Amino acid sequence: MDREQSWQTIEQERLRLADLLATLADDEWDHPSLCTGWRVRDVAAHVALAPNPPGPWDMVGWAVRSRGSFNRLNHDISVAHADAVSGAELVADLRAHAASRRLPPFTSYRNILFDTLVHAQDIAIPLNRTHPMPLAAARAGATRVWTMGWPFWARRRLAGYHLVATDVNWHAGTGPLEVSGPIDALLLLLVGRTAALHRLGGPDVTVLAAQIADRNRA
């Protein structure tokens, strides 16, 4: 996907996420998401803040309080915003800024694309909601995550595997162990989510599942 196609998809996916959030009951906003320590409302706030991030001086203050931890910075900003506004306001923000092409510091439209896709699943899956990913966008996101290194280190974590999508033309890795499945499930695997592991197959998926379980126990 080129830049224009990516931005158009980001807009569409923000609007689709807003539509999903608009259907939530009050208690669902506080349901745990797939992100450890993040509620559904926190993830929604994170996505809503992407086109409308805090100003530079506010970011400096948050960075100091997070003691240099990027993950803590993201978490604390999102939680603070989620606690300051209602669910309806988050939905309204997503819709109002869906077409914005403003970028937070140190990121790109390629990152915003897969970030929006993945975080929608972080919300939908634990709430047992169906929220399909567009195939072309999921493929672009998978390619981006595979090639980018930090913070997911997908190539390092999945060294020795050949990953093959079954619904689009995409594959990655040259290892002897093969895992296959839908591109959306592979994208979630690449960013470290295990919620779609049951949707993957291939001759060596049991090996992968055992390795992931061992890492989680460590």
Residue in this structure with the two tokens 């980001």, named with its chain if needed? 10
142 neighbors 170 (Cβ within 8 angstroms):
yes
- The string of pLDDT tens digits covering residues 10-21 is 999 999 999 999
What letter does residue 195 receive in the DSSP assignment?
T
The confidence score (pLDDT) of residue 57 equals 40
Q: How far is CA 55 from the centre of its chain?
A: 23
- The string of pLDDT tens digits covering residues 29-79 is 999 999 999 999 999 999 999 998 765 545 555 455 655 666 777 888 899
Return the domain boundaries, the chain: 3-124, 135-217
The confidence score (pLDDT) of residue 62 equals 47
For residues 97 and 58, the model is more confident at 97
Q: Determine whether domain 3-124 maps to CATH 1.20.120.450.
A: yes
Going by their DSSP bridges, the two strands 177-181 and 171-172 should be labelled as unpaired
125 has a pLDDT exceeding 80: yes
The 10 Å CB-count burial string (b at 16+, else e) for 15-36 is: ebbbebbeebeeebbeeebbbe
Q: Determine whether domain 135-217 maps to CATH 3.30.1050.
A: yes
